[in-house]
Structure 1
């Protein structure tokens, strides 16, 4: 079986915007991270600033890195992470693959947080056959009736006398909590509710 290029995978030619493009914006709620030259779509409707990233069809595929905007699109619209078309859904819910993590809840896979978009049936099979990570990980095939949008994660910048500076990476910012003004989002997360562990047909 030929190795597929996942829709969400990034390429070496797709680079994020340089830190020099970041600045301070004085909004009604206080100072927040912004781009020097704002564009429509820089922020989501929660006010989170998102990483800008090049789009390219050339360059080496980075299977272990997701493209910021394609990951976000798939998670927002529940599209297959491999082909970018609507993910499979039946009466038990949308099709996801998930695995245990050190921070997984005791109820795993119920209430699991994931940044991995769902899949169509064909490419769920492909993922299980081709992904070396899944072959060595305690994973499960899931049907999820309520994959609720939970929040974003990314790099947290701290405002200092000389501007914004990175303070932490891979920080999770749930929508239910106050927005972090220094967050530069790079992943969208869903919390999986009403989960059924199943098998692929």
Structure 2
């Protein structure tokens, strides 16, 4: 496990932000192999770190780290490092400074900040059950959450305190056998983006390359982001 941001490190660049030189290296090694009663996606040189305890395959992405184990290099602010996202979501760390979630939880729960468009906000029952790949954030760095920027409408930035979270699944790329019997090829996704979220028990999970962990949020209270930041104990 990496250490929290060392003294002097920039905390304006979220820990999970992709850096120059960090690229997905998955496709060059993907193959299909017989497994149990069917076929599953695999790496030709697969190691023990390529799958989780559920047997699900995850994308390979190297990290560029300094001697203290903190990401370095020019940030690619629209990108997220998949491995660091999974670390922050799995351990429940602030995705900006990597502080433990227990340090900034209050009676309303853990703070999440993300961009949610008007279509999603009008879904029945929203924000209960909202599914996100955005790990929590501490109030001190909530204004630097991944995805925020001058191009984002203020009305679409939603801050939520959440008491209960459930594991939902993973964001990633579905694959299918190549028609010519060659390497596996990405399968179509509902929105045409190439990525989609599936549940951990989805029947097609063994033909899926996971990138980011997804959780669903429950016992949600929408809060004022500016007030959260103003009340923060900034380290």
Is the shorter-chain TM-score for this pair beyond 0.5, marking a shared fold?
yes
Residue 100 of structure 1 corresponds to which residue in structure 2?
116
Paired residue for 1:22, among 30, 40, 57? 30
| 1:81-139, Cα deviation, whole Å (9 max, x unpaired) | 101121321222111113423445332222111111101111114449x7325553422
| 1:7-58, Cα deviation, whole Å (9 max, x unpaired) | 0001120011152211122211411111111112211222221001011044
8 Å CA contact 1:100–1:108 kept in 2: the answer is no
SS of the equivalent of 1:74 reads helix
Normalized per residue, the structure richer in helix is 2
Q: CA deviation at 1:184?
A: 0.7
Structure 1 residues 18, 185: closer, same or farther in 2, change over 3 A? closer
Q: Work out whether 1:60 is the aligned partner of 2:69.
A: no
Structure 1 residues 74, 3: closer, same or farther in 2, change over 3 A? closer
TM-score normalised by the chain length of structure 1:
0.88
Paired residue for 1:141, among 159, 179, 184? 159
SS of the equivalent of 2:176 reads strand
- What RMSD in Å do the two structures reach over aligned CA positions? 2.2
Structure 1 residues 52, 12: closer, same or farther in 2, change over 3 A? same
1:133 & 1:50 partners in 2: Cα distance?
31
| 1:60-81, Cα deviation, whole Å (9 max, x unpaired) | 2111110010001111111101
Structure 1 residues 41, 103: closer, same or farther in 2, change over 3 A? farther
8 Å CA contact 1:96–1:143 kept in 2: the answer is yes
Paired residue for 1:170, among 195, 206, 209? 195
Residue 6 of structure 2 corresponds to which residue in structure 1?
none
| 1:155-181, Cα deviation, whole Å (9 max, x unpaired) | 111013223111232121112432422
TM-score normalised by the chain length of structure 2:
0.77
Structure 1 residues without counterparts, runs of 5 or longer? none
SS of the equivalent of 2:141 reads helix
**Mean Cα displacement is larger for which, 130-139 or 57-66?**
130-139
SS of the equivalent of 1:47 reads coil
Structure 2 residues without counterparts, runs of 5 or longer? 1-9, 66-71, 189-193
